[in-house]
Chain A
Amino acid sequence: MTRVKLISAWFGGALLLAGAVGILESGAADVFLEATRPDFQKISLGVAEIANTGGSDWLAGRIEEVLKHDVRRSLVFDLVDLPGLGIQMADVRNGKGAGSKAVFKQAAEKGVSVLVWGTATWKAVGDQSDVNMEGFVYDSGSDEVVGGKRYAGSPSVVRQMAHRFADELVFRYTGEPGIARTKIAYVAQQGTARELFVMDYDGYDTRQLTADGFLNLMPQWSPDRRFLIFTAYRNRNTQDIDMIELATGKRWTVISFGGLNITPALSPDGNFLAFASSYEGNSEIYRLDTRTKAIQRLTVNPSGDLSPSWSPNGRELVFVSDRGGGPQLFLMSSDGSNVRRLTFEGDYNAAPVWSPRGNWIAYVCRTHREYKLCIISPDGQKRTQLTTGPGIDDSPSWSPDGRHLAFSSTADGKSHIYMIDADGKGRERLTFQGTHNSAPSWSPAS
């Protein structure tokens, strides 16, 4: 309930957004779902010019472009075309003059709820360069410039300035941290090796993490975003589960049993690691208490059990088992009890991931021998196929706001990383380099 109150406060009496009243009245349980509901009314937001106030010509345009993409991908805002509405922002610069008043009035009349503009400056400081960005927000509901942000940093963080400002906008209007500063870890082919990489959620600023020249696979984030946990072949005969610390590149082995050791997943509180191992025979799911190192075997079945994914409250796991022949999704409590089958449609359902909001489980479904993305509600009542067309889709991973999925697909020939809205729209390709990019994992929000 505190969350509801906070959101009410941020809405400032909910004057600016008529739809918000309905959302808040619909009950606490729905508050987390508000912007994934089909009837969610997006907030109309216009990004006016980010003006160059000194230095490089490309700078302001770059910030404006990144900011607009972030606003659009937030799915909280409806990015309006201001020139298309006949709104010119040329003299709004300080937000105080008569010219700005006229523009604000115009925007309010055209139904634009939020106006955003700013400046960008590039200046030399000694032999270094420094970038400054200012962003301002006018809110037509309260008819005032509600505030702004000022950022400074090296030219290498220009995109981060736009991302950070976009997240501030999402935060102000939803109370959520936004996804513009999130990252996606993935696996990229390098010769015969597969190494872990991390990129910004929009596909930029790619960094390599592992470099052992062998196979590093299926990364997952720790809840605090500081580590990746993944499957690695440290020699040619056994697999381990390793962790790597992003800030330092320090890497070590956390599970080194025999046989398969795959699909690690840390619980939302970080206290448990669920993973699949075949060290006792066939692939079974285990749960390790990361503090006491006690291991509990959760599945007991002669078939293959793998790919555990935690519910957001940590009480349940969805996993894959081929106990019925082909792989299907099953649910169980996090102690291994109360196992029940979730999917019945099709003969191949695998790679499940529970959405951060808890209301959906995304997975790979096979229809007509094509491997596509599907979502199913945890009660099994609702099921939708999200992707269609050619190519093998694999490894869905939810954005932390539950509004997007990252996945790999061979739709364009080689395997690359894509993102898609949770309703199957807005498909966007994120990687363009390399011969094989796979296994994306979307970071938690910061």
Chain B
Amino acid sequence: MDKIYLDHAAATPVNKAVIEAMLPYFDLHFANPSAVYDIGAEIKKVIDEHRERVGALIGAKAEEIIFTSSGAEANNLAIKGVVFAGQKKGNHIIISAIEHHSVLNSARFFERMDYEVTFLPVDEYGLVDPDGLKKAIRPETILVSIMHANNEIGSMQPITELSSICREKDVVFHTDAVATVGNIPVNVHELDVDLLSLSGPSLGAPKGTGALYFRKNLRLMPLIQGGIQENGRRGGTENVPGIVGLGKAAEIAAQELSHSENIKRVQQMRDRLVQGISANVDRIKYTGHPDRRLPGHASFCVEAIEGEALIFMLTGEGIYANTGSACASKALKTSPVLVAIGVPPGLAQGSIVFTISRGNRLNEIEVAIDTFSRAVKKLRALSPVWKGHRHL
């Protein structure tokens, strides 16, 4: 059975060209980049070349890029790095209520250490109100972190507005751009951010890669103390094949994103999916902002059924999607994002998220629509909550 993969927010296949670019760095060019001799210095050069490519994808200079193991590590480095460096005096941090766990828990880490954290609420579409940020900033605020887009509901934040408020008040602004880099053009100067996180798996690079952009002159305390790697900002022998992969993937992504038809095509597939599902399934809520959202992202809450069961019904027919349902999470807790946008807990259980990419085809979307409709029908037929078969 052919798989139809619609969960690109979770992982993307690595391009053959990327794999080919990486291979020589396992056994042919294997020296340690920090070695003083020629074969080491060569590798150092290769790393910096690929650093430039990652920078180029987001409009940054090579020396403004720190390679990390993941988007999560980049988020940790951004938040803990800024706070521990103490460039500005203060003890107040602001993040949105719908950040990724790596941002949420980094903020909570500081909350336990007598820092104050404000969790900015979002509206029913998941958007932060710039006025809300303005009001929340105080003299003691040292950092604001608000994600570029949220992978669960697809909504994109008004980053330029938010960052200009921070610029005005001299507060460092970080954005988690894991969901956007590689999917839409992202430019750190247009967004006017001080820090930006990106993740390799989101853009066709291997797992175990990521990067943090940081504006020059921003003081950052390293998370991983160690040697001289990454200019003293991140210790540990570099993941050379991974870095090469990330750089190559960034180069390919930049090329693909320069053709707007590529993004349009993804949007068309997403729009068709939404149209098809909405026409065939009733009592279903489209979550996130209808327009200000990632081009390939479609998320729903389906009444009267549970998300994990829906996912398994789909995978039984070779279709892969994601869910924010409580039963699907190890912690068995309702998705904080759905709670934050006001979805009632019962409805939040029926969460399903599709993330389409440039590699998908329109006929796959048609199959997905049909399979989805049948799966929902089957689950509703056995649900006591559907059509009020509640006896007591």
A binds B: no
Residues of A near any B CB (own CB < 8 A): none
